Every structure is written in C-alpha cells, then in structure tokens.
Structure 1
Amino acid sequence: SAQAPRLHLQSVGKHRPPYSRELEMKTTLQELLIYIIFLTDLCICKFINDYFSHIYYENLLLGVAQIRQLKVRNNTCSVYPYFRIFLKDCYHEYRSASEDKSEFGLKNGSAWNYSPASSLAPWHWGFIGLYSSGGYIFTLPKSKNESIQKLAYLRKNDWLTRGTRVVFVDFSMYNANINLFCVVRLVVEFPATGGALPSWQFYSVKLLRYITYYDYFLASCEVIFCLFVFTFIIQELIKLKKMKTEYFKSAWNWLDMLLPTNLLSLLMENLLSNAYAYPDFYFLAYWQIRYNNMIAVNVFFAWIKIFKYISFNKTMTQLSSTLSRCAKDIIGFAIMFFIIFFAYAQLGYLVFGSQVDEFSTFQNCIFTQFRIVLGDFNFATIEKANRILGPIYFITFVFFVFFVLLNMFLAIINDTYSEVKADFAVIPSQEFEITDLIRQSYNKALVKLRLKKSKMEDVYPAGSMKRSDHTQADFSFSLTFSNSFESTYLTSKYNPVSEKQFEREREKNWLGLSFLCYKGATPKSTEVVLCN
C-alpha cells in the first residue's frame, strides 16, 4: 500500500511520541480529503447520540459534507501542428463556455451526472478563475469508515480526470454558545499549467438574529430605523417633486439617494429537515456577507453626509470650497498621473511578471506600485529578477511619481487653499456659525425658563416707570444699532474687511451710539465709555 513506505520511514527516523497530531503532506486527493475533513483535531466525536456530530465538542456539524468538481471538455484548446502527433488531448483553463456537462464514468448518480446551478446561487471567485455553482456533486456519509470507502470507490473509477479544474469541499457548523454559524469552503484549483492551488473560505455569520433580550432591543432599533428611512424617502420625493431637474445638480442629493437601500430577508426554514443531506448554508452566508457589505457602505456615506451639516463652521467651509474649486485641476492632473502610472505598471508586468509574484498580473502591478509610493516594498525581489532594469524601474518610478507628481498634487491643493483663504479674508463669510446657533438656542431656552433676563428687561428693570410708545420705539431703534455694533465687532475679530467697508461700518456704528446717548437710554459697559 501507499502508506507502508511512509510508516517505515517514520520508524527509522528520529523517535517520535506514539500519538502525534502533526499535519503531514499528502500526495493523493483521497488522503487530502480524508485529512481535511477527518483530522484528529477535527474528528467527528459522537457523544450525544447517533444523529448529531460535534467538532471540537462545541460546534454542531449541520448535515454532511459535500464535494463538488467542475470540468472542461477535451479539445477546448488548439495544439500546434508539429506537436499533434505527440499530444492528442488538450484541456483549456476553466471558462463557462468550455465547461463539460456530459455524463462520464459510471453514469449513475449525481457524482457522475452534471447538476445545474440555481439562478441565485453565487459563483466562486478563485485564484485563477470564476467558477459556476453547478458541477458533479456527491456527499460524504457521517461515518469516517464509510467516507473512506466512498472516496476509494470514486478514486478507483476515476472520478477526477485531466479535465478537472476545481474541487470544492463544503460543510457548515453551528455554535450555540455564541449563536454563530461557520460556513466552511475548502477549494483546490487545478490550473492548465499543472499542479494544485489550495485555498479556503470561513464565513462566521449570525443567521438566527433574535434570541436574547439584547437582540430584541436591536430589533426595536431596527424598527425605528425603518421608520426613519421611510420618512427620509418621503422627504426626498417631496424635494424631488419641488426641485425637479435642479435636484440632481447637487452632489448631496445624489448622496441622499444612495442611503435608502432595500433590505434583504433570508429564510432558513426546512434546511435541517434532513440531517443526512447537505444544507446549502453557503448560499445564506454569501448573501448575509453581501448584506453586511451593503450596510457598511451605507454607514460610510452616512458619515460623509456629516460634512453637509458642519459646513456652518468657517474652517469646514474653507476646506469644502477648496476641494470644489480645485476639482477641475485635480481631474486634469489625475489624467496625467494615471497615464504615467499605468505605463510603469505595464513595464513592471512585462519585465518582472514571470519571476516576481507582486508583478504576476497587471492588477497586482497596480497595487504593488501603490505600495511603493507608501514605502512598503521589497526592492531586492525586482533587483534579483533583473539587475539592470530593476533598479532603473524603481529609481525612475520613485522620482517621477513620488517626488514630482505627488508634489504637484499637493501644490494644486495648497495654492487653491491660499486663494480661498484670501477670499474669505477680504469678503466675510455669510455662513452662520454653528456655535452661534447653539449659543442663541441656549440663551433663548434660559430666557423661557426664567433663568436669564432678556435684553429688554436689562434696559427696563421691573417696577420702572412706563415709557411712551415713542420712547420705546426710539429704544428699539437704538438697540438695533447696538446689536449691529456688537455683531460687527465680533465678526471683525475673525474676518478682516477692506478699508472702505471698515470706514462705512464705523460711521454707522458711531451714528447709532450717538443716537443712543442722545435719547438717554441706559448704555452697556462698552457704550458707557464711548458716550463719555
């Protein structure tokens, strides 16, 4: 047997303890599947009854494991004429158009007959291909011995062929202690170049949402959120009806349209009706992950929308004005930047693609160059691949992209910010400071609660003699000039004005103060000094 030489070599070498859980390299797919699913650490220990299996004593195995493969047809690629006498078969890399769906082998059962995929079943994006959700499928029994026998039976009848391009091993577990499902997918891809590329996916998702009291509290929050979204949609529709085409000219309105999204509801009923069948939890986990991603994007845009409400602040107004004013310059610069950037990416792909993993694909080249800009790159790898072009590529890329183009980008933003800041210095911003809004709301609340006197009560104390309507009108007029002086005085501290504007404001304020002193109204502390 294949195991005899290996056991003999283990006994000859260094002494090992009689019981070891060390994972060893396996040479056949049968041994690989057995050790993937039935490792000593992950053995199915039946300690409750014969109908439920547990992994690590805490994780319930849901149903059984499923194994699926996808194949390509023969002669899906062309062989060079001079080699056709040596090579009669040709199996191309996996494509949906070249997928083999015909019967093969024993031609009985789902293991030998193609099972089509449902329309909503997600495809798998592997290292070297995008694979459909159909294929040749069989399930493993719950017993380890029966599973070994079934794998040996399939191996004996050549279930795996030269046309096999990928094998999936899927199973699911549930941990009641933390109310989480773990959906496991183990993948082995067989590229057209030969060899095997293993990979895996572990999805830990919460599919049973409402169990504890805290879950029901979250449910109430979700109801409130749904009501808010419903109200928000109605408001946006009313705004769209009033503004019509003008509604779409604002970037904030486009952001508002992205926020309300449709929620996905997934049902799990009847999935566990047969404990000896494979429950497709991967379908649920996949769409649950997509749903979580959708929520993440919505939360991101909700945070971005905060900029709309903090534009009352002078600093934030300057920043937003800077970005909007230099948008055209940045777009023009971005075109020039990406022309040079993609040129270097193409150069790196052609020179280092066959030797350096970071440049193996054009997409990897793009991400690698972003890493070079951030300083996260191993220069020795490209130097080893090409001692002449490697250093030249690295030095010229850093010089032109990092030292020249990025500094041009910063110069555009700095120059625009200086212009905006100068404009705000000459022309005072009419935006209402949010701090002023909060201060006024706070003062009004204190006045209504009788915790603070209003300006009228400060000038006319309680019990004082009544003034005529003419006197009160004069006071109101003078108080308006007083408030205008205070507003101009506070604003001038933060927004410098031109000389003409300053002279005009000063004359207006002196006129108001003179009128105030002439009428004999009680001035404030600052006005007493000016009147005297």
Structure 2
Amino acid sequence: MHRFFILGLRESATRYLTNKTLTVYTKLFRCFYFLLFFCLHQQILVKWCKSSKIIICFLLDICNVYGKMRSIVKNCYATYDIFTQDEQSYGVGWVPFEGTNKKNNSSPEFAYTNQHDLDGIPFKGEVTWYSGGGYVFMLRGTEASMLDRFNYLDENHWIDFSTRAIIVQFTTFNPNINLFAIITALIEKPGVGSLITSYRIETANLFGSAATEAGKLEMDKFFGSPACISPFIRQIAFVLVLVGYVIKELRNIYRQRCTYFKMFWSYMEWFILIGSFASIAAYVYMIVATKDAIDEFSRTHGNVFMNFQFLAYWNEALTYLTALVCFASTLKLVRLFRFNQRIGLLGSVLSYASKDMKYFMIVFLVMFSAFVLVFYLLYTDTLEGFRSILGSTETCMQIILGKFDFTSMYEREMVLGPMLFALFNLCVIFVMVSMFVAILDDSFHRVLEDLKLQSDEHEITQFIFSQLIQWTGLSRTNWGKRLVADAQGVIEPTYMEDSERELNMKLNELTQMMDEFLSYVQINQLAGTK
C-alpha cells in the first residue's frame, strides 16, 4: 500500500511537470500538481491506550472478555474515544519505556505529538471524532528514503491491532486562481474490525478576493498593484457603513431607552452588526495567518509541514458568518416589503393564522419526532442517513420533499420498512401537510373578507408616490393622472362599446322590473290576508 501511495503520488506529479506536449493553457496548472511533488503532506496514526493506568481501568470495564470465552478470545480492543486516547510516547515497536532514558530505543514516529504542535483541529470521521494530535510520520525526502522508512515502520508494527485511524493530510495550491485545496484522507479501523475510508476536500482562497484579481503578481508587489485598489476600497466602504450603523443604533438606544430592547428588530440589527465585525476579524486573521505560513514555508524551502487545516476551519467559519449575515439582512429586506400590498396581505394572513399554527406545530413535531426515532432505531446500523438523530431528522425532511431511497430501506427491512414508509407518507405528508395548507387557506379568505384584519401600511407608499407625482408636475399629463388615480385608489371611468353599454342598460331595466314585480306580489299577499 505504501509503495503504491508513494510511487503513484510521485509519478502523477512528475508526469504533469515534465510533459512537454502540454499546451500553454495547461502549463498554467503545473504548479497545482507541483505541490504534490513538494511533499506538503503528512501521515498521522492515532493509537488506543496500552499502558496508561487511568485508562486501563476504564478499558477493563468496557472491553472485558466474558469468562467462558477467554479460552477462545485472548485480547479485547475497545473503540476509540477522543477524551481517553493514548498520548504516551513509546519505544520502537510500541515497547514501553523503562527508566528515564527515552532516546535509546525511541523514534519520532512512536512519540506522541499533541494537537497544538501540529496546529491541528479535531476531525470527524464516519465512526467518531479524532483529535488533531497523534503519532506522526512526515512524508519527506526521496522515494527511496520514504520507502525505506515505510519498510522500517512496517517491520516494527507501527500499524497494529490497537490502531484506530490513519489520517493522511496534504495541501495543494493552484497559482492560476490562488486557490488552496486542503485534503484529508481517513482510514478508520473500529474495534469490531473492517476498514472504513472517507475523505474531505476543502477549497479556500486564503489570500482573499483581492489576491485572486491580482493573479500572478508576487505577494510583495501585490498590495501596491491596481488590482488591489478596487477590492480594498469596497472593503473600507463596508467598514465605514458598519460604523455608521453602530452610531445610528447607539442613538436609537439613547432616544428610546428601554423601549428599544422590547423590539425584535433591534436585536436583529445588532446580530447583523456583530456578525459583520466577526466576519471582518476572521477575514483579517485568515489572511495574516496564511501569509505567515507561506513565509515560513518559503524560509524552510518546504522542509517543514504547514498544516492548513486550521486555516480551512477559519475559512469555513467565515463562510458561515457571511451566510448568517446575509440571511438576517434578507429578513430586513422582506420587512421593508411590507409596504407592498401583496406582501402586507401575506403578513396579515400569517399573523391571523399564528394561533392555529402553534397548535399545529405541536402536533406535527410530536408525530414527526416519533417517526424520526422509529427510523433511527430501525436503520441506525444499516443506512448512513439514519446513523444519528440529526441525520434521521434530515432524511425524514427529504422524504417530505420527495427525495428518498426506498430501495435501500426495503432491502434492509422488507416488512417494517415499507410499512413505516407508507405510514409516514400517510400521516405526515397527506394529513399534516394538507392540514397546514388548509389553515393558511382559511386564514387567507378570512383576512381577504375582513378589511380590519388587513395591514394599511401600503397606503403610505401610495401617498408618497402620489405626492411625488404632483410635486414634479407630472400629474398634469394623462400618464401622471392615471398614476395618481391608481395610487389613490380612484376608479377612472373607462370607455365601453355601444353593445356592451346597451346590454348593461337592459340588465338594469330587467332588475328594476323584477323589483317592481316582487313588490306587487307582496302587496297582494298582504291584502289577501286582511
């Protein structure tokens, strides 16, 4: 396996670097593969505890071989846990140290390296979470030296029965678009046996958007380039706008006092402001940390491993913060649309239906949670989508939206699977969703019939618009008169054809004659009764 990994990695990189038949456009991407050749990667081995006294007691309770089976099963290996992992240093071959002289029979690959020294963060696999530390082997040097080192570790059983995970980390860089790719490949070995493979590829522009526009400029010349000016101006303008909003909100607090904190949208304003400043801090930290990492990598000529996983974490956090700020800002924008008549009607409908929706949500959550728990208990060991409570909730929501894999559910549970799936569709989709639509439909008709339930905020915009038309003098034109009439709700007389006017006159005459006839009948009935 290690021979395939080393030779395959080097052959792929060398092929792209030395191929003279590549086009000029393809040569722009050679540095993307060069970093694979440059050995910016490492391998981490996470081991389970062997000799820690505190953890041994914990293992005896968890992984205790039944008395009658001890003659058949000699050893018991528990599962990995991030809080009780092995953090001891050993001699070559995982031999415990005797005495204090550890250098006589030790090797760097058998010494534990903590998370802080590796600049790592916890990593989630298919089975469990793994810490950012472990027993490290650096993939550095020539092919022959790395293969010799792999053979040495193989002979000394560096990967043995107590190994729970093998993590391979490396980073690639595409100078054409200044894009980093942080790759983490994971091989998990749970206590029950088998191997579970997974990977995570995170792409990040750690130099910022301005560096992307600068393109091929060197970092020392980048900040003086014209490509940096436009993004920098936009960023400064964004900061100034934020400062202005902070001053505005502080003035509102001073004027409104305690009333300010009773309004929901006041908290939404501060959520946007705090999220924006947090995004700025994460953005600045990410760029500064990336520059320091690149400087260190250049200073050592690639002879030191730089873990970009932590920077990828900050880039992901920046993405989440930006998404939350955009979400809150969109809610504010929707609130401004309340001055539109149709959006205001929607708000009135939701406000009128809020009481019924509360009771509906209680019933829906109880029923939905029951199905989530049933699916979780039924498929937690066989289907990946139901491996956790959160995953079961997401999968059930996808079933409501029509995205599901019924074949897999049927193959795992041929009797209960189809029955529960049909019952879920009947109770949740056909009954609960139909009830939800019925509540909204009834509320819509109630609000539409009762003007008192409708919002009149849209009249403000109509009044402002009509005053603007009159102030500009456009109301003197036919076009302006129609706009003012529409804004003020005035019904303008329209031209009708002769045939249509004649028909309306006849209908009015018929209605009048019917009224006279009914009056005559009522008078005769009263006279007859007398």
Report the TM-score, using the length of structure 1 for normalisation: 0.72
Question: Residue 189 of structure 1 contacts residue 196 of structure 1 at CA under 8 Å; is this kept in 2?
Answer: yes
Whether the aligned pair in 2 keeps the contact of 1:115 and 1:137 (CA below 8 Å) is yes
2:353 is equivalent to residue 326 of structure 1 = yes
Cα gap change, 1:430 to 1:383, in 2 (>3 Å): closer
Q: Where do residues 497-516 of structure 1 align in structure 2 (5 Å cutoff)?
A: none
- Does 2:69 align with 1:93? no
Residue of 27, 34, 37 corresponding to 2:6: 34
Correspondence for 2:115: 117
Check the 8 A contact 2:120/2:307 in 1, yes or no. Answer: no
Post-superposition offset of 1:224 = 0.2
**Within 1, Cα distance between the matches of 2:470 and 2:486?**
20
1:70 aligns with 2:46: yes
Q: After superposition, what is the alpha-carbon deviation per residue over 1:397-438, rounded to whole angstroms, capped at 9, x for unaligned?
A: 111111111111112222222222233378782543435534
CA deviations over 1:148-179 (Å, ceiling 9, x no partner): 12211111111112222112211222222222
Amino acid at match of 2:45: Q
Once the two structures are superposed, the pairs formed by residues 386-465 of structure 1 within 5 Å of their partners are 386-424=413-451, 429-434=456-461, 436-438=463-465, 440-441=467-468, 443-444=470-471, 446=472
1:57 equivalenced with 2:57 (yes/no): no
Corresponding residue of 2:154: 155
Asked whether the 8 Å contact 1:105–1:158 carries over to 2, the reply is: no
Distance in structure 2 (CA, Å) of the matches to 1:297 and 1:34: 42
> 1:357 Cα deviation (Å)?
4.2
Structure 1 segment 249-268 matched on structure 2, within 5 A: 249-260=262-273, 261=275, 262=278, 263=280, 264=282, 265-266=285-286, 267=288, 268=291
Unaligned 5+ runs, structure 1 = 1-27, 49-53, 456-482, 495-532
Displacement of 1:47 after TM fit? 6.2
Aligned positions of 1:290-369 closer than 5 A:
290-369=317-396
Q: Secondary structure at the match of 1:387?
A: coil
Distance 1:366 1:300, change over 3 A: same
Alpha-carbon distance change, 112 to 336 in structure 1, aligned in 2, over 3 angstroms: same
Alignment of 1:192-231 (within 5 A): 192-209=191-208, 210-211=210-211, 212=214, 213-231=226-244
1:185 and 2:184 correspond: yes
Deviates further, 350-359 or 318-327: 350-359
Query: Are the structure 2 counterparts of residues 194 and 35 from structure 1 closer, same or farther at C-alpha, using a change threshold of 3 Å?
Result: farther
Q: Secondary structure of the residue that 1:147 maps to in structure 2?
A: helix
Cα distance between partner residues in 2 of 1:166 and 1:453? 77
2:75 paired with 1:104? no
Q: CA deviation at 1:439?
A: 5.1
TM-fit CA distance, 1:92: 2.1
Equivalent position amino acid for 2:42 in 1: Q
The whole-number CA distance in structure 2 between the counterparts of 1:224 and 1:188 is 47
- The letter for the 1-side match of 2:251 is I
Contact 1:73–1:91 (Cα < 8 Å) also in 2: no
Matched, 1:235 2:234: no
One-letter code aligned to 2:407: A
Question: In structure 2, what residue type is equivalent to 1:237?
Answer: L
Deviation per CA, 1:29-50: give whole Å up to 9, x if none: x246436644x334487769xx
Q: What's the secondary structure of 1:98's corresponding residue?
A: coil
Question: 2-side partners of 1:147 and 1:55: how far apart?
Answer: 29
Deviates more, 1:381-390 or 1:130-139: 381-390
The offset of 1:443, in angstroms, is 5.0
**Secondary structure of the corresponding residue to residue 337 of structure 2:** helix
Counterpart CA distance in 1 for 2:346 and 2:85 is 55
Name the CA distance, whole Å, in 1 between partners of 2:150 and 2:29.
Answer: 24
Q: Provide closer, same or farther for how the CA distance between residues 110 and 257 of structure 1 changes in structure 2, counting only shifts above 3 A.
A: farther
Deviation track 1:62-114 (CA, whole Å, cap 9, x = no partner) reads 66321112122145232233333443433322212220011224263431111
The 8 Å contact of residues 123 and 130 in structure 2, kept in 1 or not, is answered as yes
Relative to the length of structure 2, the TM-score reads: 0.72
Residue type of the partner of 1:41?
Answer: S
Identify if the C-alpha distance between structure 1 residues 415 and 99 changes in structure 2 by more than 3 Å, giving closer, same or farther.
same
Q: How does 1:507-526 map to 2 (within 5 A)?
A: none
User: 2:85 and 2:8 mapped to 1: Cα distance?
Assistant: 27
How many Å apart are 1:306 and its aligned residue? 0.4
Root mean square deviation, CA, Å: 3.2
User: 1:453: Cα distance to partner?
Assistant: 8.7
Checking the alignment, whether the CA contact within 8 Å between 1:105 and 1:157 is kept in structure 2 is no
Give 2:296's aligned amino acid.
L
C-alpha distance in 1 between matches for 2:393 and 2:453: 45
How many Å separate the matches in 2 of 1:90 and 1:36? 36
Q: 1:113 to 1:173 in 2, by over 3 A?
A: same
Separation in structure 2 between the aligned mates of residue 491 and residue 439 of structure 1, nearest angstrom: 11
- Provide, for residues 230-286 of structure 1, a one-character-per-residue CA deviation record: whole Å limited to 9, x for no partner: 111221222233333332332322221211222212222233121111012222122
Say which SS state the counterpart of residue 110 (structure 2) adopts: coil
Contact preservation (8 Å) 2:39, 2:139: no
Q: Which residue of 2 aligns with 1:375?
A: 402
Runs of 4+ in 1 over 4 A off after TM superposition: 43-48, 425-428, 452-455, 486-489
Question: Is the contact between residue 71 and residue 166 of structure 1 (CA under 8 Å) also seen in structure 2?
Answer: yes
The residue identity in structure 1 corresponding to 2:442 is D
Distance 2:90 2:9 in 1: 26
What SS does the aligned partner of 1:92 have? coil
Alignment partners' CA distance in 1, 2:487 and 2:308: 68
Q: 1:322–1:420: 8 Å Cα contact kept in structure 2?
A: yes
Shift in Å, 1:320: 1.7
More helix by proportion, 1 or 2? Answer: 2
